[in-house]
């Protein structure tokens, strides 16, 4: 038996009791999450600094502010989201009630990663609570200081009968996945995502996979090079490049590359000074294993900017690579570090062909002052999300669903999409017990003469087309 079987059973019993369903209960738990963010803010800043050298500004923006925004959006709209959605009816059911009810799944497992250990745990948790589920949370063991903080303090704010934090390494997490959950939400790498999906399949458990990928950034010849360089550098080197939606490589013409490199150099210097290692605004790689993997990628192509490393400090400078080949190691995996390869293409169509020849990314970026170029890339490519003339900023919108496609993920969340992800849309038709004479035409013995009447009462008719001359 799994060591966590008793915990899952206890949470399921609480859920079956109906404890989590009242709106007042959900609001109380969400408000408690808000108090956790307020009261433990300094602890979060210190823990993320210890784990990754995260600048406090970046933690405020990407961990605390995004969680607070999601929380407030949910508190503002939960009453509306919870309402039954009444649907159209045919003639046979005009006197009845037909609607979709947003039912909770039950006991949910959320497995969070290490790169944004607060945001990527709490944002799905907000959706799970809003939808009336009980939740087992598994923070990443790699960001060990945040893991300890969450395990020791978050349970004090939430109902312990309905919400639990489990600390576990790889082997323990494998055992945890042996339990039957009603929904699984996983954020991490595609390789681990396959393991989670296989474990879920044993119980036919639905799941969301928020994975990653190599996010292309096409830069056309018609753009403001200085602005573009600043926005790309910010998105690539934020959190020392350890961001799943960071631009992973740049595609541009050879002429644009000659303009782009000095602009990127200026942006990096403006952001982090002449020696980024001394900047309080540039983070560190999370661990030795991750450092060594990213460091090996520096052997691809030629270093045009940066390239300095310090293994003891887990420091890799903001780096730009040129003369990178398509089969170089840096182009075979998600970089997840402060390295930006720049590859040249002859045209926007070549860039589109390059992108479409690879797995569909989590995010796709294009920089151009020409709307036709932007729309051409948008219409002829596929990705989890798309952004023109900036990077990362779609993450700040609770109104935009976030999620991948293909190898970059399955499912979506943020804002209302989080509530819907953790809700089962339950179809309901409530009919009256009387008026049996109205049902007689559908019963045996069948009479062909009744069929036109039944079809008229139950069939959806095609609307007449309206043609404007």
Active site residues: 210, 244
And the tokens for 251?
């595609």
Q: Is 67 helix (H, G, I), strand (E, B) or coil?
A: helix
Residue 51 CA to residue 44 CA, distance in Å, equals 11
Of 291, 239, 21, 243, the C-alpha closest to 133 is: 21
And the tokens for 170?
């790889």
And the tokens for 464?
């007449």
Q: Is 312 helix (H, G, I), strand (E, B) or coil?
A: coil
Spatial contact of 207 and 410, defined as CB atoms under 8 Å apart:
yes
Residue 14 CA to residue 133 CA, distance in Å, equals 10
Q: Is 306 helix (H, G, I), strand (E, B) or coil?
A: coil
Residue 98 CA to residue 458 CA, distance in Å, equals 14
Of 130, 70, 137, 71, the C-alpha closest to 103 is: 130
Q: Is 281 helix (H, G, I), strand (E, B) or coil?
A: coil
Q: What is each CA distance from 42 to 20, 46, 48, 60, 216, in whole angstroms?
A: 30, 6, 10, 10, 35
Residue 39 CA to residue 456 CA, distance in Å, equals 62
Q: Is 89 helix (H, G, I), strand (E, B) or coil?
A: coil
The conformation of residue 279, written as its DSSP 8-state character, comes to -
Helices 119-130, 23-39: axis angle to 10 degrees equals 160
Q: What is each CA distance from 403 to 244, 383, 408, 419, in whole angstroms?
A: 11, 9, 8, 14
Residues facing 321 on adjacent strands: 303, 341
257 CB neighbour count, 10 Å cutoff: 17
């Amino acid at each position: 038996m799994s060591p966590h079987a008793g915990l899952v059973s206890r949470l399921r019993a609480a859920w079956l009791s109906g404890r989590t369903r009242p709106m007042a209960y959900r609001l109380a738990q969400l408000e408690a999450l808000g108090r956790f963010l307020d009261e433990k803010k300094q602890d979060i800043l210190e823990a993320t600094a210890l784990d990754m050298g995260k600048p406090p500004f970046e933690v405020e923006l990407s961990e605390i502010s995004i969680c607070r925004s999601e929380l407030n959006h949910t508190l503002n709209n939960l009453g509306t989201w919870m309402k039954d959605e009444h649907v159209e009816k045919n003639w046979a059911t005009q006197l009845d009630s037909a609607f979709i009810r947003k039912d909770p799944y039950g006991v949910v497992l959320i497995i969070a990663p290490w790169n944004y250990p607060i945001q990527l745990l709490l944002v799905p948790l907000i959706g799970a609570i809003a939808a009336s589920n009980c939740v087992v949370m598994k923070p990443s063991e790699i960001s060990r200081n945040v893991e300890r903080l969450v395990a020791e303090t978050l349970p004090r704010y939430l109902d312990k009968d309905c919400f639990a934090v489990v600390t576990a390494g790889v082997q323990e997490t494998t055992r945890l996945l042996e339990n039957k959950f009603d929904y699984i939400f996983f954020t991490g790498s595609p390789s681990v995502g396959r393991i989670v999906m296989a474990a879920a399949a044993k119980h036919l458990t639905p799941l969301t996979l928020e994975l990653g990928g190599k996010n292309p950034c096409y830069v056309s010849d018609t753009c403001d090079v200085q602005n573009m360089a600043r926005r790309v550098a910010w998105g690539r080197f934020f959190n020392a490049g350890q961001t799943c939606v960071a631009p992973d490589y740049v595609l541009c013409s050879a002429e644009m590359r000659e303009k782009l490199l000095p602009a990127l150099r200026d942006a990096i210097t403006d952001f982090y000074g002449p020696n980024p290692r001394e900047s309080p605004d540039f983070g560190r790689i999370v661990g030795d294993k991750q450092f060594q993997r990213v460091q090996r990628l520096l052997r691809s192509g030629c270093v045009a900017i940066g390239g300095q490393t310090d293994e003891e400090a887990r420091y890799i400078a903001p780096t730009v690579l040129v003369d990178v080949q398509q089969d170089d190691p840096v182009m075979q995996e998600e970089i997840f570090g402060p390295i930006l390869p720049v590859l040249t293409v002859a045209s926007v169509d070549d860039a589109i062909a390059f992108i479409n020849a690879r797995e569909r990314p989590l995010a796709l970026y294009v920089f151009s002052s020409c709307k036709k170029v932007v729309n051409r890339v948008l219409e002829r490519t596929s990705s989890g999300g798309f952004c023109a003339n900036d990077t990362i900023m779609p993450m700040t919108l609770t109104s935009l669903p976030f999620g991948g496609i293909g190898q970059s993920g399955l499912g979506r969340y943020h804002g209302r999409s989080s509530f819907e992800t953790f809700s089962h849309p339950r179809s309901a038709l409530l009919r009256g017990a009387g008026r049996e004479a109205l049902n007689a035409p559908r019963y045996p013995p069948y009479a062909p003469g009744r069929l036109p009447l039944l079809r008229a009462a139950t069939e959806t008719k095609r609307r007449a087309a309206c043609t404007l001359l």
